[in-house]
A and B are shown apart, each in its own frame.
Chain A
Amino acid sequence: MTLVALALVLWAAGWALNVRLASGPQSRSVALAVPLLFGATLLVMWELIVRGLDVPMVFLPAPTQIALRFAASLPTLWEDFVQTVLKGALSGYVIGCLAAFAVALLADRVDVLRRGLLPVANFAAALPVVGVAPILVMWFGFDWQSKAAVVVVMVFFPMLVNTVAGLRAAETMQRDLMRTFGASYWQGLVKLRLPAAMPFIFNGLKISTTLALIGAIVAEFFGSPIRGIGFRISTSVGQLSLDMVWAEIAVAALAGSAFYGLVVAIEKRVTFWHPSNRG
């Protein structure tokens, strides 16, 4: 019980400190410290309450138990990471985004196609596309190819919608200027419209990072070789070894944030001219 009381005291102390920090002068370090402090308080509370109340591990393992399991099974986690993230999600992401980009260029060139395709793509982007996973697993087998196929289908429509919107972002004045320069379609595309489309394209790329991981993980629930994040989660849940499940979730979370962070870093370099990056 003392541990639980300690957890509550710690919570109050952490929150009070955050209140002081938040009402004080603002700076970058404060903006970074407050959420980190909040997260750390939650983590320590989790640990103390789980230990204080003797919560069984099949219900909720303590963070230290998860960390120990994480450290002890690094080779397995790495193998799953390679299988799900690098082979399944990343290859599907690249193929899907390139395909959507190509179709977007075509739709931008042929106006009837754009007007017909855009409502359909907008509609498809709201559908529970993960449902195609059992079909694609049946077609492409259990290995990573079927996961990549699911990812391709999942990222295609958001990417298409964003790219088409981006290709129309250049203003009429700017296009007219290109025309007065006598620029060909391709010159106008490369020198004006693609750069203007970059914020939209990166928006699509960012949305797609999460979708890619979701697709790759959920597709493994429908059948997978004996490795992969989704496979490990579903079998470890069956064996009630929840520390392993949490370790895999940590891997998925780290991979998701790193993937997103990478795309944001590239975006900052490519769209340095955009107002949101000045500053």
Chain B
Amino acid sequence: MSETAAPISAPEAGVGWSARVARVTSAMRQTTLPVLGVLAALVLIWTLACIPMNAAQSVLDASRAGETVSPEAASERRGMSALALALRNPGPAIAHAYTQGRPRLPAPHQVAGALWQSTATVAPTSAQSLIHHGWVTLSATLLGFAIGAGLGIALAVGIVHFRVMEMSVMPWAIVSQTVPIIAIAPMIVVVLYAIGIEGILPKAVIAAYLSFFPVVVGMSKGFRSPDAMQLDLLRTYGASRPQTFWKLRLPASTPYLFASLKIAVAAALIGTIVAELPSGAQAGFGARLLAGSYYGQTVQIWAALFAAAILAAGLVGLIGGLERKSLARMGMRP
């Protein structure tokens, strides 16, 4: 943000205000207001889209309630597009669009209500609670992320130090990024179930697998990021390979570490959610999505989707915060 903001030294930037206030207002003008505008536009489009999306049900509700709708016959309405139906019956379509139990497109306030209701008003241990499902997903994600990132860093250390490892493993690690490895998720769940492993571990295995490769690729780049001058300097000091690693390669790789951890944690969350789809998992965002799609509980699906998005944003934001803190302390702030 700071690079897009107008310079503090710009004419009249600080007139009547301290520089800090000027910086805040300038950032507001530059980013916050446009972002809020875009978000408001999205919510507006969403709200308006509810009218045609839910028109078929709205008009049906209206005709059941005794209102006159056109065309009268339900069989005629079935062939019409949702937009045409909404245009011919604007009154009923608007009146009934936002109160349906199972709308095709739930309105923003319905999703917000469901989110609030399933987090704040039910006990966190109940199966209705999104906090419960979120914790099930989060614990598997974090376990898998820790395993995957740990193994990834270990392999990257090996790759940097042993040429043969780099030449044998690295091409496969890169190829694996082009392959939809998520396809193996259902199989891993079922195979591990067959040998008696169930619960958090199969999900964590898939999450680990997905977060592994981005970390390998990112960290082997990071450990290589010191340039030849710096490596030569350490050689003239007579530094051993472990010393070079701890004092130069590891600190130099920090920006790469956080960049790949952000990708890895997002991938781990996706892996966990997909792993919860088959196998009749009882809890977790994936199970919640699947149950919602079986029973047509659209509001529940949307609430689970937003909860998953909030969780993802929280995890990525957390790592981003750690990144800013540690890079600032190390004096590496870009």
Contact = CB atoms under 8 A, between A and B. Distances in A.
Interface of A: 15, 18-19, 21-23, 30-31, 34-35, 37-39, 58-60, 112-113, 115-117, 119-120, 123, 126-128, 130-135, 137-139, 209-210, 213-214, 217-218, 221-223, 229-230, 233-234, 237-238, 240, 242, 245, 248-249, 252-253, 256-257, 259-261
Contacts of A133: 289
Contacts of B37: 112, 116
A214 B180 contact: yes
A252 B183 contact: yes
Interface in B181-195: 182-184, 186-187, 190-191, 194-195
A163 B37 CA distance: 21
Given A58-B194, A59-B195, A135 B302 contact: yes
A103 to B, nearest CB: 11
A220 to B, nearest CB: 10
Q: Is chain B's interface secondary structure helix, strand, loop, or mixed overall? A: helix
B290 A128 contact: no
B78 interface: no
B274 interface: yes
Contacts of B175: 257
A260 B178 contact: yes
A18 B166 CA distance: 11
B296 interface: yes
B38 interface: yes
B55 to A, nearest CB: 13
A116 B38 contact: yes
9 contacts: A22-B164, A23-B164, A34-B167, A116-B38, A135-B293, A221-B186, A222-B293, A242-B191, A256-B178
Given A137-B293, A138-B296, A18 B164 contact: yes
Contacts of A131: 273, 285, 289, 304-305, 308-309
Contact of B290 (A113, A116, A134): A134
Given A126-B312, A134-B289, A139-B104, 16 more contacts: A18-B164, A113-B34, A116-B38, A126-B313, A126-B316, A131-B305, A131-B308, A135-B293, A138-B298, A218-B274, A221-B186, A221-B274, A222-B277, A245-B184, A256-B179, A259-B178
B167 A18 contact: yes
Contacts of A230: 183
Interface string B74-117: 00000000000000000000000000000010000000000000
